[in-house]
Amino acid sequence: MAQKPKVEPHVGRLGYLQALVTEFQETESQDAKEQVLANLANFAYDPSNYQYLRQLQVLDLFLDSLSEENETLVEFAIGGLCNLCSDRANKEHILQTGGIPLIINCLSSPNEETVLSAVTTIMYLSSPGSGSHPELTAMPVVQCMLRFSLSANTRLRNLAQIFLEDFCSPSQVAEARHRPADSALGIPLPRTEAPQQP
């Protein structure tokens, strides 16, 4: 388990966040990386931290972590991005640095929380003022949301229905309904609980 970063009390919030970033970059322990990324994702929830997180390039750290094989790191990274992207500067950074495909790929995660955060992040990125990013409502994404709108998971079903109603045109939804299912991303519904260990 990761130790609390050693930071002098007078260093303040920026120093503490810097210590977390440094620990994430230097540790070899997957458990420590997970704990640090979870802490950074929690700090991303507070708008008073946005400037520091941008300064420390935590958005890029989260984006890079979306490509990890460790599902827990991906979960915390997309959670952090979801927390950050309600801010215009953070949203623009994500959009301009190629974050959209990485976030869309999270829709295929077997981890339910990862998928929920990915759907929410896509909704934030699709909101007015973000410019035109048609890949956020591309046909495979719309088809995926249609599948999610049939999920037994109430949270996922509701988010998908909101996405389809608020971010897609009726013609996009109709076209997605009539396209063969095999043309979608092949995204399975996420597991609702942890896989059973043999």
Which residue from 148, 157, 140 is spatially nearest to 100, judged by alpha carbons?
140
Q: Flag whether 193 is in a domain.
A: no
Among 81, 114, 147, the domain-final residue is: 114
pLDDT digit string (tens) for 143-198?
Answer: 999 999 999 999 999 999 999 999 999 999 999 999 876 444 555 555 554 444 44
Residues 20 and 104 both lie in one domain: yes
Residues 108 and 147 both lie in one domain: no
Q: Flag whether 72 is in a domain.
A: yes
Residues 21 and 107 both lie in one domain: yes
Q: Flag whether 170 is in a domain.
A: yes
State pTM to two decimals: 0.85
Distance CA 117, CA 87 (A): 16
Residue 142 near residue 164 (C-beta atoms within 8 A): yes
Q: Flag whether 126 is in a domain.
A: no
Domain holding 180, by residue range, is: 133-188
Q: Which CATH number does the domain housing residue 21 bear?
A: 1.25.10.10
pLDDT digit string (tens) for 6-37?
Answer: 545 556 899 999 999 999 999 999 999 999 99
Residues 20 and 86 both lie in one domain: yes
pLDDT digit string (tens) for 58-72?
Answer: 999 999 999 999 999
The CA-based angle 172-175-176, given to 5 degrees, is: 85
Q: Structurally, how many domains does the chain consist of?
A: 2
Q: Flag whether 4 is in a domain.
A: no
DSSP code string of 66-126:
TT-S-HHHHHHHHHHHHHHTTSHHHHHHHHHTTHHHHHHHGGG-SBHHHHHHHHHHHHHHH
**Secondary structure of residue 138 in the 3-state scheme:** coil
| More confident position, 185 or 106 | 106
Q: Flag whether 73 is in a domain.
A: yes
Distance CA 84, CA 92 (A): 11
Residues 150 and 64 both lie in one domain: no
Distance CA 24, CA 6 (A): 13
Span 41-55, average pLDDT = 96
Structure token pair of residue 140: 């495979």
Residue 162 near residue 116 (C-beta atoms within 8 A): no
**How many Cβ atoms sit within 10 Å of the Cβ of residue 130?**
16
Span 124-141, average pLDDT = 81
Residues 170 and 110 both lie in one domain: no
Residue 63 near residue 57 (C-beta atoms within 8 A): no
| Most distant CA atoms of the chain, gap in Å | 61
Among 79, 114, 149, the domain-final residue is: 114
Residues 23 and 85 both lie in one domain: yes
Residues 17 and 71 both lie in one domain: yes
Among 114, 149, 174, the domain-final residue is: 114
